Amino acid sequence: MNYCMHCANLLVRRVPSGDDRTRHVCDACGTIHYQNPKMVVGTIPRYGDRILLCRRAIEPRYGFWPLPAGFLETGESLAEGARRETLEEAGSRVDGLVPFAVFNITFVSQIYFMFLSDMVSAEFSPGHESLEVRLFRENEIPWSDIAFTVIRETMERYYGDLRNGHFEFHMGDIQKNA
């Protein structure tokens, strides 16, 4: 960030009075520009004994398979954003959202919040960010082609909970070399 979003003057980096971190500060208008992590929201869309995955049509990880997820928009709740992302990427409507997992990915300044969800019907279709969308049983999942470590972790915890017969809320950190 080089210029103030309020007055367009050049920003400096320093620790503002009363703060303990270096920030982008505008000496002209006094605005402090805080940079915070991005929130990613998504679902584990279930239909019977299968879950819905999307094959990516965009980078990063073009052609690989994630669960439907994306950045939370301003003015959305976590659940609203997760529903929207599932509809946009997978053409699927989901209901019964239950908080399932939160993962901190500090090296890219992201926090993932994933919900368990039920598809309201077997209807789905690829959105503009997906090459294809498919329902998978656990033994059919292309594990070697899962797009991101956070998605693999989410799915592994989902199937572990499914085998244990109860679902828990999970928290974790994704490390850069994981």
- According to CATH, where is 3.90.79.10 located in the chain? 38-173
Q: What are phi and psi of 72, to 5 degrees?
A: -65, 135
Those residues with Cβ within 8 angstroms of residue 154's Cβ, 6 or more apart along the chain or in another chain: 44, 67, 100, 101, 103, 112, 114, 170
114-145 pLDDT tens trace: 999 999 999 999 999 999 999 999 999 999 99
> Residue 177's pLDDT band (boundaries 50, 70, 90)?
confident
Taking all residues of the chain, what is their mean pLDDT, rounded to a whole number?
97
Alpha carbon distances (Å) from 142 to 53, 65, 68, 93, 133: 10, 8, 15, 23, 13
CA atoms within 13 A on the CB side of 128: 0
User: In the chain, where does the domain assigned CATH 2.20.70.10 lie?
Assistant: 1-35
What's the CATH number of domain 38-173, 3.40.1670.10, 3.40.50.300, 3.30.1330.10, 3.90.79.10?
A: 3.90.79.10
Please count the other Cβ atoms lying within 10 Å of the Cβ belonging to residue 8.
Answer: 10
Q: Which CATH class, in words, describes the domain spanning 1-35?
A: mainly beta
* Residues 160 and 91: beta-carbon distance below 8 Å: no
> What average pLDDT does range 13-18 have in this prediction?
95
46-94 pLDDT, tens per residue?
Answer: 999 999 999 999 999 999 999 999 999 999 999 999 999 999 999 999 9
